[in-house]
């Protein structure tokens, strides 16, 4: 008789944002007269920039013409986009990443979840705690995480690296040696960043112990401070130990459009095996390429007009971030993040648990945020608010929170 993959049964509860969404819907159904403001899931709200829309229209027209029609895209991505990425995101920052080291995909979530497939199940993973839940969950599904302890809310085979107020929400090198190290900076959910010198320590460590760093830079566009690296390849030696994951969701508003990419340098080898070749093989077998229309829109992100328009969009969200940060701080909340990231990480008042504060805010301010504990045990007693709402909703949500 058929058996299921019972690793899935080890996953605790449903995906964090499904639970947040369900609670919001239940509250709204019970109180249809209330206007609930969502500052929970990190989803953008501003429309696509004009240059993106123009490019999409043109690409659609190309698909309606026999001479310019495109079928299957190359499974690793169109050359025009891979070159634009290589030139703008890497070479312009002094990182020697070539176009053929870039794998275009339909977003970073799939890549964050799938990348673990090219590694042995014997590997131990290390993750920041708290962090984007996909890294742990995808390793649970694969059978690499061990068993779940309902008391500590941790998996037995995962090395958790607490990111707390005491260490400025930046992880320390763990005492046990991991094989795969997930780092995410600017961090979701804390909004914390890491200096280039600190990231260099991670790169040196990974090269020393033979670990691979899986570096998620989905929020790179929000970095405003000078000493914060935009790419791990700004660090010396990163090409022999790091994979970088990027998204067009947050810098260009592509959450519904879907585009991302993964960088695997050709120098990155485990023994004699090239991880680039393994991922290329995996892509070739399981992925048929991001749509031409969307890749054209991705190319427009790097045009002069695109850069100008998207800078303004990022500034719009960061204005919200500063508004949330400054006002909650003035109201006596303990807040961090919001400087190089569109997330504000706040300590729950009165020692409420993260979910208690979630319910309290939903019921009394009709504002939805995300409980910090959903991102890992060290997120308990914290709460995440996003700056991705409209300015008007952000101002109204903060007014309601301050009035509590």
Question: Shortest Cβ distance from residue 40 to ligand PLP (Å)?
Answer: 11
- Give 119 or 343: the residue with its C-beta nearer to ligand PLP: 343
Residue pair 259/290 in contact by the 8 Å Cβ criterion: yes
* Alpha-helix runs per DSSP H in 171-243: 196-209
Question: Shortest Cβ distance from residue 218 to ligand PLP (Å)?
Answer: 4
- Give 259 or 365: the residue with its C-beta nearer to ligand PLP: 259
Q: If DSSP states are collapsed to H, E and C, what string results for 248-305?
A: CHHHHCCCCCCCEEEECCCCCEECCEEHHHHHHHHHHHHCCCCCHHHHHHHHHHCCHH
Question: Shortest Cβ distance from residue 358 to ligand PLP (Å)?
Answer: 18
CA distance 345 to 338: 8
- Give 8 or 15: the residue with its C-beta nearer to ligand PLP: 15
**Sign of the torsion angle spanned by Cα atoms 163, 167, 168, 171:** negative
Closest CA to 217 of 87, 338, 112: 112
* Site residues (vs ligand PLP, CB under 6 A): 42, 107-109, 112, 132, 184, 188, 216, 218, 247, 249, 255, 260
Question: Shortest Cβ distance from residue 105 to ligand PLP (Å)?
Answer: 8
Question: Shortest Cβ distance from residue 259 to ligand PLP (Å)?
Answer: 7
- Give 132 or 317: the residue with its C-beta nearer to ligand PLP: 132
DSSP 173: P
Question: Shortest Cβ distance from residue 396 to ligand PLP (Å)?
Answer: 24
- Give 302 or 365: the residue with its C-beta nearer to ligand PLP: 302
- Give 101 or 216: the residue with its C-beta nearer to ligand PLP: 216
DSSP 68: T
Q: Which residue has the tokens 């042995």?
A: 120
């Amino acid at each position: 008789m058929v058996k299921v993959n019972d690793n899935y049964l080890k996953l605790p509860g449903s995906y964090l944002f499904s639970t947040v969404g369900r609670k919001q819907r239940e509250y709204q159904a019970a109180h249809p007269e209330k206007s609930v403001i969502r500052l929970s899931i990190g989803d953008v709200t501003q429309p696509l920039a004009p240059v993106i829309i123009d490019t999409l229209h043109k690409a659609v027209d190309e698909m309606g013409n026999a001479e310019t029609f495109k079928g299957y895209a190359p499974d690793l991505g169109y050359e025009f986009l891979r070159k634009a990425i290589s030139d703008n995101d890497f070479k312009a920052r002094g990182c020697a990443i070539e176009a053929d080291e870039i794998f275009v995909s339909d977003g970073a979530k799939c890549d964050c979840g799938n990348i673990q497939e090219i590694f042995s199940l014997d590997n131990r993973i290390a993750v920041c705690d708290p962090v984007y839940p996909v890294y742990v969950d995808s390793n649970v599904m694969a059978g690499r995480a061990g068993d779940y302890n309902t008391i500590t809310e941790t998996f037995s085979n995962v090395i958790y690296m607490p990111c707390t107020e005491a260490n400025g929400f930046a992880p320390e090198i763990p005492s046990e040696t991991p094989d795969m190290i997930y780092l995410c900076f600017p961090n979701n959910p804390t909004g914390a960043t890491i200096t280039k010198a600190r990231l260099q320590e991670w790169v040196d460590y990974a090269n020393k112990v033979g670990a691979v760093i899986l570096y998620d830079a989905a929020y790179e566009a929000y970095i405003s401070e000078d000493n914060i690296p935009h790419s791990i390849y700004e660090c010396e030696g990163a090409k022999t130990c790091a994979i970088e994951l990027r998204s067009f969701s947050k810098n260009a508003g592509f959450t519904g459009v879907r585009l991302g990419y993964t960088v695997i340098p050709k120098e990155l080898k485990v023994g004699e095996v090239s991880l680039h070749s393994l991922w290329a093989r995996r892509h070739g077998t399981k992925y048929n390429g991001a749509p031409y229309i969307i890749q054209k829109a991705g190319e427009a992100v790097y045009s002069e007009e695109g850069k100008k328009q998207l800078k303004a969009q990022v500034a719009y969200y960061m204005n919200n971030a500063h508004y949330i940060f400054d006002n909650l701080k003035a109201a006596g909340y303990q807040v961090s993040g919001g400087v190089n990231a569109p997330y504000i990480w706040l300590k729950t008042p009165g020692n409420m648990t993260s979910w208690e504060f979630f319910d309290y805010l939903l019921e009394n301010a009709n504002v939805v945020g995300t409980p910090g504990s959903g991102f890992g045990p060290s997120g308990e007693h914290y709460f995440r608010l996003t700056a991705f709402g409209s300015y008007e909703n952000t101002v109204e949500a903060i007014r309601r929170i301050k009035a509590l």
